[in-house]
Structure 1
Amino acid sequence: MMLHPTQELEPPANPERFTLAKADGKYKGRKPTAQFKQAEALALLAAGTPKREIARKLGISERSVYRVLSAAA
């Protein structure tokens, strides 16, 4: 099997490194963007805004709107 040239240069993933980085506060992972917009989504829904429009206004997917709203219920 032939490897892509960049694969030879990358070291294998090391879970130990991630654990150490998290302990030092250097690796925090990706922030959940849709969850932070839950209050805005609920306010727009209460104002009668359709879910598709809520998604467009908040810059998240329509599926994320449904997920955020179901978590709030």
Structure 2
Amino acid sequence: MEEKEGKHSENHKVFNIIETISSWNTIVKDEIKTTLQEDIKILDELEKGIDTYDTQVKSVIEGIREDEKRIKRMIDKKSQIND
């Protein structure tokens, strides 16, 4: 757009609006990018937490199964003694 030196024209106003919108566009894109990066970090942390939780649950289940086997052996021994 042409601007006349030392004068303000309607073209100048349009140019300012376009420049402002372009500036806002850049700011919004940067904010979205930053927010997405933060969200990705949060999701990664949640996934790690879920993996840790799953591992702990599996460990507890295995411990319960081992306790079950031990208790059954104790019951079997007691019942053999009482027979």
Same fold flag (TM > 0.5): no
Select the structure that is richer in helix: 2
Highest Rg: 1 or 2?
Answer: 2
Q: TM-score scaled to structure 1, two decimals? A: 0.29
Q: TM-score scaled to structure 2, two decimals? A: 0.27
